[in-house]
Structure 1
């Protein structure tokens, strides 16, 4: 069962996947067009942040089971794990998927397996990948097996979830699905379910869309509660006492490479039918604008140049990933309207957007906003912060802070979803 595996794209998903296969004795080559990523990996190091990953990678590189290259090499299995970002018109950008597929055609041979893991619009595997692979002259589905198997992991716990989560495998035929299932069984302890490619592609999109729609419901409820003068957090708390109700928490928006992107892939394919999905995306995308309107009201009496300190810039807590972060969108809105903005967070290194000094970032600020509920923000020195700020307002967008503690330091505490 030990295979030579070529994984194209060694980022947030491809690298942990490569390390996992390597740890079970497969010989893995990680391919990336970024020479720095390749060079760093060949030294047993990584360029991304994920708990436990660097030690894991160092071990499998030292064993000789994992190495990196800028071009694909002949292998038994090819797994495509490149990003699929969103275009400005909210359509899927699959250029990297196309180029990655083209790159493996010259080294494709009879008996190979090709798996797409990148989140993609329905039909990508059969309508885009398969025709490109056919340029090899091989029969795709007979000479070369092809399928789609998306990851189901969460940043911060990727290594554990790669191994333990259930997985869906879609094949262009039954043989492809079954062979890909056998491959992933070597690293997955969870259940693996087989189906066709389009079903697997839509499953991946809908898993994230389900969460996005529920967050949109919570965000809409937060805006309604502010208009009605009701505390949304109380409404959610009491609603969720019902045995069949589980309303999500509101926030400043939805980010990341999945929830903020994947629903648009469905809307792109079915614009006339995906009404709830599209409206939910618009609601969540609007939240930075709603936060901005709240800021404008809080600081309406200040005539001089206004400075705001935002705590956290990533799309979720305790990671360094800022892809599609609603906080960055909020920063852009503020700066476009003449505000000076400082972002504080120590977890992001060597980024000119972020100040790693808390008191320096808060100096002369008129308003402090909690953008992301990172653990390190639980016990901030509010008495010391009060000495350096110019204003006295704290806006909590996550219902994360201890209101009484902040008030005892002389601040006015404001909360998203509560007037």
Structure 2
């Protein structure tokens, strides 16, 4: 039986490790594409086929309509039987792609893991269950079979709406917890309390009950949490979501105060020390 031809579009923090995982499995003929030619060159990708069986989309999404248009252009060019969107996307993005390209199967399977480096991320891809949501049941089944052939654990949800929402909720939940600690830090400063002592009490409760994780109240950075809150806001206006964004903007100004930034670092060191013990 001939090997399936797979194209990974986007060779960044997710796409590169996924490309390497597919290639190292020996079960597929793998190609990679990125608009940054240096990323292709680093993987010795110089030519692309005219047609492929499967496309993995590993592109960042900051604009739903543009993302859908870009993905559908790749589908039109390479005529795959199956497209798997690994990106974090706004609600109804996967369905939007399918509606424009109903001649191929389209599924969503968000990636989880810490993006330290490609080798570490390969371990993360193997570690986490690959949740799959299809534009229809046939697409979900095809994506599940593909990931299981790669040796990954899988779980199929009702549809791509569930996987899209699950990924956005997971990161928003963490952002909300950090925003909560930002506000608690403000209150502590207002009343003259030592926030590190307050955190010690909360952390001791978490140590016993395991239901009150402690976050250090720094600015929420990175390329996931705040952008994903904004993606969720595209589909659902929420005071709570806007509170997260407002709190984080406020914190950017607050940490310019040396006293505040030193307190944040003090709590950060304290938490890191406890994690190591």
TM-score of Structure 1 vs Structure 2, range by shorter chain: 0.7 to 0.9
Query: Structure with the greater relative contact order (CA < 8 A, sep ≥ 6): 1 or 2?
Result: 2
Q: Please report the TM-score for the alignment, with normalisation by the length of structure 1.
A: 0.58
Q: Which residue of 2 aligns with 1:381?
A: none
1:40, 1:93 → 2: CA distance? 29
Unpaired segments ≥5 residues, structure 2: 271-277
1:173 maps to 2:136: yes
Larger Cα-atom Rg = 1
Secondary structure of 1:147's match? strand
1:122 maps to 2:94: no
1:68, 1:84 → 2: CA distance? 26
Unpaired segments ≥5 residues, structure 1: 43-66, 86-91, 134-139, 299-368, 371-394, 403-419
The equivalences for 1:48-127 within 5 A come to: 67=45, 69=47, 73-85=50-62, 92=63, 95-108=66-79, 112-127=81-96
**Given that residues 82 and 100 in structure 1 are in contact (C-alpha distance below 8 angstroms), is that contact kept between their aligned partners in structure 2?**
no
1:163 maps to 2:165: no
> Offset at 1:193?
2.8
The equivalences for 1:197-208 within 5 A come to: 197-208=160-171
> Offset at 1:401?
5.2
1:260 maps to 2:226: yes
The equivalences for 1:282-321 within 5 A come to: 282-292=246-256, 294-295=257-258
Q: Which residue of 2 aligns with 1:153?
A: 113
1:236, 1:117 → 2: CA distance? 36
Spell out, residue by residue over 1:70-104, the C-alpha distance to the aligned partner (whole angstroms, 9 max, x if none).
x674111011111123xxxxxx4653552243133
Match of 1:397 among 264, 270, 274: 264
Q: Which residue of 2 aligns with 1:416?
A: none
Secondary structure of 1:219's match? helix
Secondary structure of 1:195's match? coil
Spell out, residue by residue over 1:278-320, the C-alpha distance to the aligned partner (whole angstroms, 9 max, x if none).
212221232111112x24xx6xxxxxxxxxxxxxxxxxxxxxx
> Offset at 1:155?
1.4
Give the length in aligned residue pairs. Answer: 261
2:222, 2:126 → 1: CA distance? 22
1:398, 1:235 → 2: CA distance? 15
Q: Please report the TM-score for the alignment, with normalisation by the length of structure 2.
A: 0.85
> Offset at 1:184?
0.9
**Given that residues 254 and 285 in structure 1 are in contact (C-alpha distance below 8 angstroms), is that contact kept between their aligned partners in structure 2?**
no
> Offset at 1:37?
1.8
Q: Name the CA shift for 1:96/1:126 in 2 (closer, same or farther; >3 Å).
A: closer
Secondary structure of 1:84's match? coil
The equivalences for 1:348-387 within 5 A come to: none
**Given that residues 105 and 138 in structure 2 are in contact (C-alpha distance below 8 angstroms), is that contact kept between their aligned partners in structure 1?**
yes
Match of 1:27 among 26, 29, 49: 29
Q: Which residue of 2 aligns with 1:417?
A: none
Spell out, residue by residue over 1:176-225, the C-alpha distance to the aligned partner (whole angstroms, 9 max, x if none).
10110111113354342332011111111011011111111111111111
Q: Which residue of 2 aligns with 1:6?
A: 7
> Offset at 1:68?
5.3
Cα RMSD of the aligned pairs, angstroms, is 2.3
**Given that residues 217 and 264 in structure 2 are in contact (C-alpha distance below 8 angstroms), is that contact kept between their aligned partners in structure 1?**
yes
The equivalences for 1:128-143 within 5 A come to: 129-133=97-101, 140=102, 143=103
